[in-house]
Copies of this chain bind each other. A is one copy, B any other.
Amino acid sequence: MPDNDRDLLPEGLQDRLPQGAAVSARVQRAMLDVFHSRGYDRVQPPIIEFEKSIASRMAGVQPRRMFRFVDPSSLRTLALRSDMTVQVGRIASTGLSEAARPLRLCYAGQVVKIQGDGLDPTRERLQVGAELVGSDTVAAASEIVVLAIEALKAAGAEGISVDFTLPDLVDTLAASALPLEGDAVDAVRRELDAKDAGGLVEVGGEAYLPLLYAVGPLDRAVARLAEFDTSGALATRIEGLRAISDRIGKGARVTLDPSERHGFEYQSWFGFTLYAEGLAGAVGRGGTYRILGRDEPATGFSLYPDPLIDALASESQCENVLYLPLGHDVLAAERLRSIGWRTVAALSDAEDARALGCTHRLQGSEAVPV
């Protein structure tokens, strides 16, 4: 071909070929089926919107991370969505503002960002998630965490673990039991996030040191957090964490990292990160928050299943496919399809059924191995 250049895809974008695409569809269906069975209704926002509408809706989304372009019809800037949560928030605040609360919504779709993260060049990802709008209570958080775990399991993930965090922990303490002045709040948050004990002392956050050790398996970490919380400022949070963990039961390994802040800047009292065996990095994240503009409480999560899809697609798959020779019995083929067979009909008698991926061949009304 004279022009191989046009065969290339831009960095961080890929095709899913048959095996991967089939797994992707199966994973997405499995997750959406779990959401549907728990009363979550799917919504489908458009893949582009006014930049301003997306950017203004959640402080967590940076417009500079989105592809932007001018709309010739409105002469305004549009953006290719990099996150669907803000779109679902918009729908809850507009088209579904009158729907009864709690409102259960879910979504699945492609999101695109202008640059990859660090060493990972991926720019287009599948995002699948659920939002419980109108509530950010312990009951809401429990439902959401359990839902995320069940969706991951239904999709084929194994060895799931959940890391809890308390995103507004420092603010809560700084405002009551362990007062901090002005800039010190940010500094303490930063040093806790960096897990830097020396730095923490330096910025006047000595009293916060025990938080660095209230990490690990939930029971022990929460016990340490309770010991540290002599004032009781965290009592309801501690009770909440225990209740959520009880609801998870044996469904996942649960850990605590109370001062982990990365990615939870806009969450309120509770956040969580999901991991699964064999997958590098987090497979999803969620928590409680308030929908900007409407200031409505909500709890939700987003899953990014591409690494799970890649892992499942690399496992060998074996599927029966039935070759239908020219002049085959059409009704027999119909009947076999109705009980789950895939069929490939001959276009000519010069074909090699095996090369076409067929495992069987229709003879009379019988499927015979090729």
**Residues of chain B lying within 8 A (CB to CB) of residue A105:** 18
Determine if A14 is an interface residue (Cβ-Cβ < 8 Å). Answer: yes
Determine if A244 is an interface residue (Cβ-Cβ < 8 Å). Answer: no
Tell me the nearest residue of chain B to A139, going by C-beta. Answer: B347
Interface residue ranges of A213-228 to B (CB < 8 Å)? none
**Residues of chain B lying within 8 A (CB to CB) of residue A351:** 102
Most-contacted residue by chain B among A5, A9, A356 (CB, 10 A): A9
Determine if A162 is an interface residue (Cβ-Cβ < 8 Å). Answer: no
The answer to whether B67 touches A68, judged by C-beta atoms less than 8 angstroms apart, is no
The answer to whether A39 touches B321, judged by C-beta atoms less than 8 angstroms apart, is yes
The answer to whether A94 touches B50, judged by C-beta atoms less than 8 angstroms apart, is no
Produce 1/0 per residue, A1-24, CB < 8 A to B. 101011111111111111011101
Q: Given A22-B42, A357-B100 in contact, is the A7-B53 Cβ separation under 8 Å? A: yes
Q: How far is the CB of A128 from chain B (nearest CB, A)?
A: 13
Q: How far is the CB of A292 from chain B (nearest CB, A)?
A: 10
Tell me the nearest residue of chain B to A336, going by C-beta. Answer: B37
A10: which of B36, B73, B357 is its contact (CB, 8 Å)? B73
Produce 1/0 per residue, A119-131, CB < 8 A to B. 0000010000000
The answer to whether B343 touches A39, judged by C-beta atoms less than 8 angstroms apart, is yes
Tell me the nearest residue of chain B to A38, going by C-beta. Answer: B343
Tell me the nearest residue of chain B to A124, going by C-beta. Answer: B46
Tell me the nearest residue of chain B to A294, going by C-beta. Answer: B1
A114: which of B36, B67, B72, B93 is its contact (CB, 8 Å)? B72
The answer to whether A46 touches B13, judged by C-beta atoms less than 8 angstroms apart, is yes
Q: When chains A and B are docked, how far (Å) is the Cα of A55 from the Cα of B42?
A: 34
Produce 1/0 per residue, A61-92, CB < 8 A to B. 00000011101111010101000000100110
Determine if A229 is an interface residue (Cβ-Cβ < 8 Å). Answer: no
Determine if A186 is an interface residue (Cβ-Cβ < 8 Å). Answer: no
Interface residue ranges of A313-370 to B (CB < 8 Å)? 321, 337, 341-348, 351-352, 355-357
Q: List 25 A-B contacts (CB under 8 A).
A: A1-B293, A7-B94, A10-B74, A13-B48, A15-B43, A15-B45, A16-B45, A17-B95, A18-B43, A21-B42, A22-B41, A22-B42, A25-B42, A37-B341, A38-B337, A38-B343, A39-B356, A46-B124, A47-B112, A47-B124, A48-B80, A72-B114, A104-B344, A132-B347, A139-B348
Residues of A in contact with B (beta carbons under 8 Å apart): 1, 3, 5-18, 20-22, 24-25, 29, 32, 36-39, 41-50, 52-53, 56-57, 67-69, 71-74, 76, 78, 80, 87, 90-91, 93-96, 100, 102, 104-105, 110, 112, 114-115, 124, 132, 135, 137, 139-140, 143, 293-294, 321, 337, 341-348, 351-352, 355-357
Please name 19 further chain A to chain B contacts, defined as beta carbons within 8 Å, in addition to the given A7-B94, A46-B110, sorted by A numbering. Answer: A1-B293, A7-B90, A8-B50, A10-B49, A10-B71, A12-B73, A13-B48, A17-B95, A21-B44, A37-B343, A38-B344, A39-B321, A39-B342, A39-B356, A47-B112, A73-B115, A100-B357, A102-B347, A139-B346
